């Protein structure tokens, strides 16, 4: 099999290596085996690390190579899981020898029937994906939420037809190695520095994100943040019809073209006539970031033919995404918010600014980019104290310790317990790390689940 026929791939009898055997890698192996490929699943981790996945693969006839990669130059193609860096030696050598490389995202998209909506941006992807999926389902669409949100697209293409809409969350890792990936509708939320521990610099990170646009045609749509200069610059790469959304300020009355915006406590879409998509009162989660994501989702839903009634009904029922500004409840008058997926400092700032009552913040981990000093305005006068965890504890204390008390702790559970002892009725305890989780946890979900369990433990102690 050659790279030249990737638009209509025939995997039968192709020898394919799937690198990375987490959820997307396992799904890709199963997808390829169903289509007659000879598949080798490979991972630098051991069978003990990977658990039940190995038995599942072997039962399906997938060969495995664990602890080290096989000679990747001997394969017809390589499928990358999102966590695998394409620049690492064996992968780069295979690419240089002519082996074509695809991300799992494009592997599935090439086989999908129906429309593909692809959502990217530095923050807000999951909220936008889940809320758009809910709007489409409310209107009776066969909508499937896939991608970076946790469900691999290769596990959901079977049974799709021309009426299916794949609502696809895509990270820079999933987009950077795409070739012919062409979403019918590209949604770009915002752009600022992130994942610079993986990408060589901001320009490389932005270029990876911009691949969402490169194969679009005039018949496609690009729904982009009209108030983000970086997004607008990247959107110049698309030939698609550009539809801006403006979460902070309405457009000028004389401005031409389609646009979504907030005005007079309503989310509106103007295209000649103006329609109301939903009302501020429909939104059940505090914060301007959530409103912006819901506006992007509503603009996309409207473009896809969803009625305002279905959009507003979905917004009223929307309660957020696990680990993304997720309200867990209260213990003795103190609210708990799980924002474990906030791995950038910009996300922490947005979370802090969402509250009018005092906040006790838990933050820290492995800092990916920036300085905690960027949080000074958001922390000042708003944070009662900060509990710092992980590798960045000293950085947090140095950057913010003159604004409020900063307590360094070794364990997240200890931070939660101490924060609750300090909290007063009406306060909020917010886990919003601003960092990756890999210094202490398997991933952000494990970090968020430990926070959830600490909340439950406090409730069960009779404090609620």
Residue 287: HSE in the Cβ half-sphere, 13 Å Cα cutoff: 24
Closest CA to 104 of 163, 148, 47: 148
Domains of the chain: 13-98 (3.40.50.720), 106-317 (3.40.1190.10), 326-463 (3.90.190.20)
pLDDT digits (tens, 9 = 90+) for 282-294: 998 887 889 999 9
Query: pLDDT grade, residue 464 (50/70/90)?
Result: very low
Find the mean pLDDT for residues 160-166. 97
Distance (Å, whole) CA 147 – CA 24? 8
Residue 6 has pLDDT above 60, yes or no: no
H helices present in 153-215, as ranges: 172-175, 202-210
Any bridge partners for residue 246, and if so which? 261
Closest CA to 389 of 352, 456, 441: 441
What residues contact residue 36 under an 8 Å CB cut-off, 6+ apart?
Answer: 11, 12, 13
Percent of the chain with pLDDT over 70: 96
Q: How far is CA 20 from the centre of its chain?
A: 19
Q: What is the pLDDT of residue 193?
A: 62
Q: How far is CA 188 from the centre of its chain?
A: 12
pLDDT digits (tens, 9 = 90+) for 146-157: 998 879 999 999
Distance (Å, whole) CA 288 – CA 276? 18
Residue 196 has pLDDT above 70, yes or no: no
Q: Contact 118/170 with Cβ under 8 angstroms?
A: yes
Residues in the chain: 464
Find the mean pLDDT for residues 319-334. 90
Concatenated DSSP letters of 245-305: EESSSPPPTT--S-EEEEETTEEEEEESEEEEEEEGGG--S-SHHHHHHHHHHHHHHHHTT
Distance (Å, whole) CA 37 – CA 29? 9
End-to-end Cα separation, the chain, in angstroms: 62
């Amino acid at each position: 099999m050659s790279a030249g026929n990737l638009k209509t791939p025939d995997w039968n009898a192709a020898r394919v290596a799937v690198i990375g055997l987490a959820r997307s890698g396992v799904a890709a192996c199963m997808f390829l085996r169903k289509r007659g490929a000879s598949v080798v699943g490979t991972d630098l981790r051991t069978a003990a690390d990977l658990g039940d996945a190995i038995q599942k693969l072997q039962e399906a006839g997938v060969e495995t190579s664990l602890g080290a990669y096989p000679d990747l130059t001997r394969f017809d193609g390589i499928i990358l899981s999102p966590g695998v860096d394409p620049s690492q030696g064996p992968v780069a050598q295979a690419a240089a020898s002519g082996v074509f490389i695809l991300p799992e995202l494009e592997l599935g998209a090439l086989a999908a029937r129906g429309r593909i909506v692809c959502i990217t941006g530095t923050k807000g992807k999951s909220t936008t994906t889940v809320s758009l999926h809910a709007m489409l389902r409310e209107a009776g669409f066969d909508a499937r939420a896939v991608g970076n949100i946790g469900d691999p697209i290769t596990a959901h293409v079977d049974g799709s037809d021309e009426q299916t809409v794949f609502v696809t969350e895509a990270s820079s890792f999933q987009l950077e190695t795409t070739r012919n990936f062409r979403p019918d509708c590209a949604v770009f939320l915002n752009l600022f520095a992130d994942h610079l521990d993986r990408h060589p610099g901001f320009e490389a990170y932005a270029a990876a994100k911009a691949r969402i646009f490169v194969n679009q045609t005039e018949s496609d749509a690009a729904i982009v943040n009209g108030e983000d200069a970086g997004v607008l610059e990247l959107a110049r790469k698309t030939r698609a019809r550009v539809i801006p959304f403006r979460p902070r300020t309405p457009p000028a009355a004389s401005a031409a073209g389609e646009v979504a915006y907030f005005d007079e406590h309503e989310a509106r879409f103007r295209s000649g006539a103006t329609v109301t998509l939903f009302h501020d009162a429909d939104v059940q989660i505090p914060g301007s970031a959530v409103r912006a994501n819901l506006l992007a989702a509503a603009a996309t839903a409207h473009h896809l033919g969803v009625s305002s009634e279905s959009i507003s009904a979905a917004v009223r029922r929307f309660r957020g995404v696990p680990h993304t500004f997720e309200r867990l409840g209260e213990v003795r008058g103190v609210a708990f918010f799980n924002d474990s997926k906030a791995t950038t400092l910009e996300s922490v700032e947005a979370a802090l600014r969402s509250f009018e009552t005092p906040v006790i913040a838990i933050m820290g981990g492995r800092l990916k980019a920036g300085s905690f000093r960027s949080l000074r305005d958001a922390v000042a006068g708003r944070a009662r104290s900060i509990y710092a965890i992980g590798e960045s504890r000293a950085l947090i204390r140095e950057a913010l310790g003159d604004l409020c008390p900063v307590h360094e702790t070794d364990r997240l559970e200890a931070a939660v317990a101490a924060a609750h002892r300090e909290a007063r009725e009406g306060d909020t305890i917010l886990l919003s790390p601003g960092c990756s989780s890999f210094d202490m946890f398997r991933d952000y979900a494990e970090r968020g689940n430990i926070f959830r369990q600490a909340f439950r433990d406090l409730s069960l102690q009779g404090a609620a």
